[in-house]
Structure 1
Amino acid sequence: MVADLTTGSAAAAQKCIFCAVAARRAEASMVYEDDTVVAFMDLNPVTPGHLLVVPRRHAVGLEDLGKATSTHVWSVGHDLARALRRSSLDCEGINVLLCDGEVAFQTVFHFHLHVIPRYAGDGWTLKAVPPQRERAFLDSDAQAIRDAITSTH
């Protein structure tokens, strides 16, 4: 069995705002917490009710996050999405978003899952118009990913 370890230097964790929130050294509007994660309101919300689910132990991104912690983050995110739907915020949909790496729009380099309630006309959009990819390229991409899966087990 592989240990559930997260990485990141102690120096990075000392400077990390999400580590400070998790340790209650920085102010946040906390929604949920347990021994593994904290969830709090995003200081710069896309929409009202925008939450972040953050592991307590410093991990920069997916590669640094242990499987058990990752599973728990997603499970808590799911529970909070359901709570948002049932709340008096009356959201009509939910986006669950992970930005892993600077080119993927990650701005705080401590792993975090966005749980974003959506409302008709809220003005937030994802405006990508993806091109269709040829089957040969899709098959080649699928093989590359399958090869990586077997190399991690």
Structure 2
Amino acid sequence: MLDENCIFCKIIRGEIPSVTVFEDDHVKAFLDISQTTPGHTLLVPKDHIEDIFHLPAATAARLFSYVPMLANAIKAANSGIKGMNIINNNGEVAYQSVHHVHIHLIPRYSDQDDFNIHFGNHSDMYDTAALTKIALTIKENLQEAPHA
């Protein structure tokens, strides 16, 4: 089901124009209007799902199964691509600006292409005991993994 106020749902319905890269009954892939780098593509499920925390496993399996096909097509379209960031942001603190689950495929041409991600190194703050405690807390909250 689509949300009447969601910009991606409006794109799926054709109410807002987009440049489609791929579409079938389940997903739509289109160029991001910002084009962080040339070829920056968004992949969205056709059902309105807010974020990864609401994404059913079967839908996730289907959605993510399109990523290699799209990544390879984007790379084949431009021999200058040297890598690709594949990003899914969830929640405003994680830079999710449209609350419809989506995957960014951002081609990388060089390390000077106006895009960066910073992973802070805080390894000096965590010894094995602290890491084990974090892992155990996560393990205690795991649900049985669904099989696609």
Report the TM-score when normalising by structure 1.
0.86
Superposition deviation, residue 135 in structure 1? 1.4
1:65 aligns with 2:58: no
- Provide the rounded CA distance (Å) in 1 between the counterparts of 2:144 and 2:78: 46
5+ long unaligned stretches in structure 2: none
Cα RMSD between the aligned structures?
1.8
1:90 aligns with 2:80: yes
Q: Deviations over 1:30-85 (max 9, x none)?
A: 00111111000001121110000001111110122111211121111221111112
Matches within 5 A, 1:93-108: 93-108=83-98
1:14 is matched with which residue: 4, 25, 29? 4
Report the number of matched residues. Answer: 143
Matches within 5 A, 1:2-151: 13-88=3-78, 90-120=80-110, 121-132=112-123, 133-150=126-143
- Provide the rounded CA distance (Å) in 1 between the counterparts of 2:28 and 2:75: 20
Superposition deviation, residue 142 in structure 1? 1.1
Contact 1:49 1:89 in 2 (8 A): no
Superposition deviation, residue 127 in structure 1? 2.5
Contact 1:30 1:39 in 2 (8 A): yes
One-letter code aligned to 2:29: A
One-letter code aligned to 2:121: P
- Provide the rounded CA distance (Å) in 2 between the counterparts of 1:78 and 1:38: 15
- Provide the rounded CA distance (Å) in 1 between the counterparts of 2:143 and 2:78: 45
Report the TM-score when normalising by structure 2.
0.89
**SS of structure 1 residue aligned to 2:61:** helix
5+ long unaligned stretches in structure 1: 1-5
**SS of structure 2 residue aligned to 1:150:** coil
One-letter code aligned to 1:101: G
